[in-house]
Amino acid sequence: MLRKKLLAIVCAGALISATAAVLAAPTQTMKSEAGTLEVTPVVTGLEHPWALAFLPDGKSMLVTERPGNLRLVTADGKLSAPLNGVPTVWAKGQGGLLDVALSPDFKQDRMVYLSYAEGGGEGNKAGTAVGRGRLSEDMAALKDFQVILRQEPKLSVGNHFGSRLVFDRDGYLFVTLGENNDRPTAQDLDKLQGKVVRIHPDGTVPKDNPFVGQANVRPEIWSYGQRNPQGAALNPWNGTLWENEHGPRGGDEINIIERGKNYGWPLATHGINYSGLPIPEARGDTVEGTVSPHHVWEKSPGLSGMAFYDADQFKAWQGNVFIGALVSQELIRLEFQGDKVVHEERLLGELKKRIRDVRQGPDGYLYVLTDEEDGALYKVGLK
Ligand SMILES: [Ca+2]
């Protein structure tokens, strides 16, 4: 009798929790070339989430929200209060709290790196800054946050901050920096607008950077001629740095970033001004002395976060690159022969959301953030 009663209680409990799980996380299915997609919201109610970084426990991640909050999210859908110790950000236009990355030695040093728009420029202008702080043991705060890089002068009234943070295999930190919508600065080597920079984790400059020792040149610069690079990732098969950036009207690009090279903006572009007029500085889509895009979209999807897929979980995706698209509201999937893009598929269009970031999780699923007032983290896999 007692056993029967207990069983009834257990069954009722299971039913309630199963119902709750269904209500909290209805999995949508969508067709795709590699099979049926399963798209499950992990967390909703995120305010313009921008980036995520998995913690080594494999079960939780840090998520940035552009207005200035950093939160802990667990894979089973728990969302923490904002962490303390995060710097004040300049949240306006495209500005705010942007990328998050963990130190390659996170298990030892617990360092969390953030990129964000920082105010204080002349005429209330802002620039991109990068800093780091130690994640407290109780996961509630970043301790002793210190700025390690500042875009100076600060020239943005709300546009083109970049920015992504990528550590390479040797532990150097690469930061992609927008040109603050001040086009010619991308070619000025005395400024950090429109650049990819390479620094040590403490912000000091590696002695073998390409422009070290030159007069009136910022030694942090690794490459230049970038416009607004909002995506970057390390190619897991050969360690090269891949970056993507927004063209103006047309001409979104993927670039493979090489030491000291000029990636062209605004001298070379496949795009035109939003007004429909040509870019005043542009001399064509291919200009001598500049590196042409590795891959270009004549119609801009509005590229953002980028992830290489090298997990075993979904064999059909191995060797692919995924990129979030803000304007076209899709997740782009690219297939390659060697480095060359040979096929493109657009996913998640049914969501009708701006896709801001995509990362491969430790479980081999894709984790996708939507850049919305009521933004969400989705787990995406194949059935
Ligand atoms: Ca370019």
Mean pLDDT across 230-234: 98
Q: Residue 364's pLDDT band (boundaries 50, 70, 90)?
A: very high
* Of the candidates 233, 118, 104, the residue with the CA atom closest to the CA atom of residue 164: 233
Q: Which residues contact 371 (CB under 8 A, 6 or more apart)?
A: 48, 49, 50, 66, 304, 326, 353, 354, 355, 356
* Percent over 70 (pLDDT), the chain: 93
Ligand 1 centroid from CA 106, angstroms: 33
Q: What pLDDT is stored for residue 173 in this prediction?
A: 99
Q: pLDDT-derived band of residue 251, with 50, 70 and 90 as boundaries?
A: very high
CA of 196 to the centre of ligand 1 (A): 12
Active-site position among 160, 246, 270, 295: 160
CA of 289 from ligand 1 middle (Å) equals 12
Q: What letters, b where the CB count within 10 A reaches 16 and e where it falls short, cover 68-85?
A: bbbbbbebebeebeebeb
Average pLDDT over residues 74-84: 94
Is there a contact between 161 and 148 (Cβ–Cβ < 8 Å)?
no
What's the topology of domain 30-382?
Neuraminidase (2.120.10)
Residue 243 alpha carbon to ligand 1 centre in Å: 10
Residue type, 68: G
Give the model's pLDDT for residue 24: 52
Average pLDDT, the chain: 94
Contacts of 326 (CB under 8 A, 6+ apart): 301, 302, 303, 304, 354, 355, 356, 371
Q: What is the mean pLDDT of residues 67-85?
A: 96
Instruction: Report the separation in Å between the CA atom of 226 and the middle of ligand 1, taken as the mean of its atom positions.
Output: 6
Take residue 308 and report the two structure tokens written for it.
């290489």
Q: Is 132 within 8 Å of 148 (Cβ atoms)?
A: yes
Sheet holding 221-224, edge to edge: 162-167, 173-177, 195-199, 221-224
Amino acid at 143: K
Query: For 32-59, how does the pLDDT look when each residue is reduced to its tens digit (9 = 90+)?
Result: 999 999 999 999 999 999 999 999 999 9
pLDDT digits (tens, 9 = 90+) for 169-217: 999 999 999 999 999 999 999 999 999 999 999 999 999 999 999 999 9
24 alpha carbon to ligand 1 midpoint, in Å? Answer: 43
Q: Are 97 and 70 in contact (CB under 8 A)?
A: yes
For ligand 1, the distance from its centroid to the CA atom of residue 151, given in whole angstroms, is: 20
The confidence band for 75, taking pLDDT boundaries of 50, 70 and 90, is: confident
17: left (phi over 0), alpha (psi -120 to 50) or beta: alpha
Sign for the pseudo-dihedral over CA of 205, 211, 216, 220: negative
Query: Is 343 part of the annotated catalytic residue set?
Result: no
Query: CB within 5 A of ion ligand 1: which residues?
Result: 263-264
- When pLDDT is cut at 50, 70 and 90, the band that residue 25 belongs to is low
Number of Cβ within 10 Å of residue 259's Cβ equals 12
Q: Which two tokens stand for residue 276?
A: 């429909």
Condensed to tens digits (0 to 9), the pLDDT of residues 282-301 reads 999 999 999 999 999 999 99
Q: Name the residue ranges covered by the structural domains of the chain.
A: 30-382
